[in-house]
Structure 1
Amino acid sequence: MSAVRFEDADGIAVITIDRPARRNAVDLEVAHGIARAIDAFEARADLAVAILTGAGGTFCAGLDLAAFTRGEIPILPGRGFGGLTESPPGKPLIAAVEGWALAGGFELALAADLIVAARDARFGLPETKRGLVAGAGGLLRLPKTLPYRLAMQLALTGEPIGAEAAHDHGLVNILTEPGGALTAARELAASIAANGPLAVRASKEIVAMSVDYPSTGGFDAQRPLVERILASRDALEGALAFTERRAPVWAGE
């Protein structure tokens, strides 16, 4: 059986790390499986949003240390750890987190655009406890979401943060009862999938790049994307559907 499952329905792809006996730890098979799943998601125009989750009540425990001792390093060229952290998809990705998201597993979640988590979920970067650093994007992305000193505390102590505290600080979008993260993630994904696909993709790109631009530079950087959307068939369809009081029929162009 594959270590990564790919399912789709109603414009939503679900990518599941399926190694519950290993707490969904990432080895090379998982990295290649996630990369293939992301490629399939990106290639299909009928899929608007993807959800990344883990089987068996755990999101991901990070690097499979047993595989690492055998010489496996699950970092793919141009894609990063787990086939994802250095090259997230252009379309929206939601992490649905139950249980632990640790080390590289937390970094996989941080590579997503949105996080839905069970109230008892835990997030952590314990690398310093093992003499390592969180080099798969955790140290780069965490300070863009959490207050600087809290991000520094997590990075330096290696101690985890609970989902409720993470939600209070804006790291988690939606909290659910235990066992409900994937269902809530599907509901969130459905609300995104109902929108214009070109507009969603462009909006993600602009929001993602905005953190690296001052306000004036940001307007210049977003202008080609905004102009392309204004000239699209979907923009006209959205306006017509509103004036005609009907649901829009998106063409994706």
Structure 2
Amino acid sequence: PVVLYEELGHVAVFTLNRPAARNAINGKVSARFEALLTAFERNSDMWVGVVASSHPDVFCAGADLKAINAMERVFSWKGGFAGMVQFPRTKPLIAAVDGKALAGGCEIVLACDLVVASHKAVFGLPEVKRSLVAGAGGLFRLPQRLPRQVAMEMLLTGDPIMASRAKELGFVNELVEPGSSRDAALALAGRIVQNAPVAVREAKVCADRMQLMSDDDAFNESNRALVKLFMTPDFREGPRAFLEKREPRWTGR
């Protein structure tokens, strides 16, 4: 499969798997990734996802130019580029980057909620060097994740930044040794799945929606999330587990 899928407890791992093509995105990758994300969102036992690569030096090189030249559609209908940059998710995704994430590859990372990268990771949007723009989310997501001046330098020059610089700027959550980004991402996912899964989903959804809201609208969204949580069995399990001095047994429902 062009995207591998594995379930490890409550964590789903999506692995881009076109190493001979440097994981370039074509129609098959987008369709496969969208189908996997659809199943992931519907599966109440899957709480967090990790996006990784089977290539030792490249996370994703972007769109498959051979496919584009052959007039092949590299977007999926629901998820857009790679089947995921526009996918309406409620569950967090962690990018595990151990190499180059350029153009559409960087936009896949930008579509994730957290980033774990090794020291050899590189992030860049070189589209302007090809008389293009980063149309799969990069134009607006990069300035959201980085200081505007840095984001504009990357967008206008097309020059990349190394993982160490990305970590300094807050783009990367955790910087690790080469070859260990997947394991570190799984460890981060493990910290997340210790928490009430519905609460995690609501926190993600609210944070995504609130970015451009007024304070009043944001408070209304917060209240909506709280009311929803009040109706779940996990809302009662959290305080009960604390009082009984034991680990909570989350249902995720």
TM-score range, shorter chain: over 0.9
Cα distance per residue 1:160-205 (max 9 Å; x no partner): 0111111111111111100010000000001111211110100111
Separation (CA, whole Å) in 2 of partners of 1:183 and 1:239: 31
Residues 42-191 of structure 1: matches in 2 within 5 Å? Answer: 42-57=41-56, 58-191=58-191
User: Is 2:2 the counterpart of 1:6?
Assistant: no
Letter in 2 for 1:152: M
Aligned residue for 1:200?
200
**Unpaired segments ≥5 residues, structure 1:** none
Single out whichever of 157-166 and 40-49 deviates more from structure 2: 40-49
The one-letter code matched in structure 1 to 2:129 is: K
Cα distance in 1 for partners of 2:37, 2:43 equals: 10
CA distance, structure 1, for counterparts of residue 169 and residue 233 of structure 2: 39
Deviations 1:99-145 (A, max 9, x none): 10011110011000001000110000000000001000011111111
8 A Cα contact 1:88 1:111, kept in partner: no
SS of match in other structure, 2:7: strand
Give aligned pairs, total.
252
Q: Please report the TM-score for the alignment, with normalisation by the length of structure 1.
A: 0.97
Q: Structure 1 residue 224 and structure 2 residue 196: aligned?
A: no
RMSD (CA atoms): 1.1
Deviation at 1:39, TM superposition (A): 1.3
- Matched residue, 1:29: 28
Shift of 1:150: 0.6
Which residue in the other structure is 1:15 paired with? 14
Letter in 1 for 2:115: I
Residue identity matched to 2:108:
L
Indicate the SS of the match to 2:59.
coil
Please tell me the residue identity of whatever aligns with 1:3. V
Aligned counterparts of 2:4 and 2:39: Cα–Cα separation in 1: 12
Q: Distance in 2 between matches of 1:143 and 1:35?
A: 26
Q: Which deviates more from structure 2 when the two are superposed, residues 216-225 or residues 192-201?
A: 216-225
1:88 deviates by 4.5
Amino acid at match of 1:187: A
| 2:101 counterpart SS class | strand
Report the alpha carbon displacement of residue 231 of structure 1 after superposing the two structures with TM: 3.4
Query: Aligned partners of 2:63 and 2:166: how far apart in 1?
Result: 22
Find the residue that maps to 1:59 and give its secondary structure. Answer: strand
Tell me how far apart the structure 1 counterparts of residues 142 and 55 of structure 2 sit (CA, whole Å).
26
Distance (Å, rounded) in 2 between the aligned partners of 1:186 and 1:67: 32
Over 6 Å off, 4+ runs = none
- Give yes or no for contact 2:49–2:93 (8 Å, CA) kept in 1: yes
Q: SS where residue 13 of structure 2 aligns?
A: strand
- The CA distance in 1 between the partners of 2:6 and 2:24, in whole Å, is 20
The 3-state SS of whatever aligns with 1:218 is helix
Report what 1:212 is aligned to. 212
